[in-house]
Amino acid sequence: MGKRLGPQTVRLEKEIHVVGAAGVAGKMEGEGPLGEYFDRVVIDAMFGEDSWEKAESHFVREAMERAVEKSGHTMGDMNYILCGDLLNQCIGTTFGIKDFSIPCFGVFGACSTMGETMSLGAMLLDGGFAETVLAGASSHFCSAEKQFRFPLPLGIQRPPVSARTVTGAGAVVLSRQGEGPLIREITTGKIVDLGIKDANHMGAAMAPAAAALIAAHLRETGRQVKDYDVIATGDLGHIGRELAIKLLKQEGFLADERYTDCGMLIFDRTRQDVHAGGSGCACSALTFASYFYPRLCRGEIRRMLFVPTGALLSTTSVQQGLSIPGIAHGIVLESGREE
């Protein structure tokens, strides 16, 4: 059936390369285990702006500019920008990219947004609708807390199951020409809702979608966990990852040390006050762009399944007592290097 391997998975026909990537992170992220890998660590949460929302846009703008520069291209080479964030009407993205004057798709997949932007960008390229696209995602601890939870000055105590929204932005340049890791397959997630209503427990809300996505991908490709050097979910954190492992076992797949989570990697749980780990669109975006991408380029990772995850809630849905549906999107990347 052409490019389609199954109900959720497609295999790309063209060689779609990730030719550049960049991550710009906040202060706390820079103090974490991945701090040395980020292109820039911004100490000031306001990033020289007069609001947290404008600061998030600044993160977006700089990450995208750096990714394009590192790819050897210019902004004029970009046929499309695909980007998104957690803020209402994706204003972090809008005000970050508006001056680039490039055709754009604003994308919302909650914390799975990096998976969506990369998936859709690769499909545009494989379909012949573009030669080069710029994809990214962002989040900001302060702007997210302000919108979804409580004003920071209140100092509300967070429960142990909660995660800390990552401050920063990650961006990648995808192209049909050039060199770099290849996007081979895309598995698009379905919305999964097991009735979780605790807005602090994002890991529990997203774990079912992550497990369902990974299981569907493995079935449709005929692979096993051992066929990947790394399987990395987006921001389930420590608790959500354990739940996903249990759910995968029920599906007949045993996850081992190859399976990690960006929300576990970006912060040090023992010395940083992050509770269950990291979350937010920038969690997977930063971790991929700054940590996994260079390892793919060097051939340290030959094949990876990247699975950004998202909790599809809003302040309105939570206030109305609705459950929190989850979603995940999978992307298979290969180094393109011989063993």
Structural domains of the chain sorted by starting position, each given as residue range(s) with its CATH number in brackets = 9-175 (3.40.47.40), 182-334 (3.40.47.40)
pLDDT, one tens digit for every residue, the chain (339 residues): 579 999 999 999 999 999 999 999 999 999 999 999 999 999 999 999 999 999 999 999 999 999 999 999 999 999 999 999 999 999 999 999 999 999 999 999 999 999 999 999 999 999 999 999 999 999 998 887 877 766 666 566 676 677 788 999 999 999 999 999 999 999 999 999 999 998 877 888 999 999 999 999 999 999 999 999 999 999 998 999 999 999 999 999 999 999 999 999 999 988 998 877 889 999 999 999 999 999 999 999 999 999 999 999 888 898 899 999 999 999 999 997 654
Dihedral over Cα of 212, 217, 218, 220: its sign? positive
The DSSP code for 217 is H
pTM to 2 decimal places: 0.95
Position 304 scores a pLDDT of 98
Helix (H, G, I), strand (E, B) or coil at 54: helix
Pairing state of beta strands 164-165 and 278-279?
A: parallel
Which residue intervals of 78-236 are DSSP H helices?
Answer: 91-97, 113-126, 141-148, 202-221
Question: 176: which 2 tokens?
Answer: 């049909």
Cβ–Cβ under 8 Å, residues 218 and 225: yes
Pairing state of beta strands 182-187 and 330-334?
A: antiparallel
DSSP 223-279: --GGG-SEEEESS-HHHHHHHHHHHHHHTT----TTEEEHHHHSS-TTTSS-TT-EE
Position 156 scores a pLDDT of 64
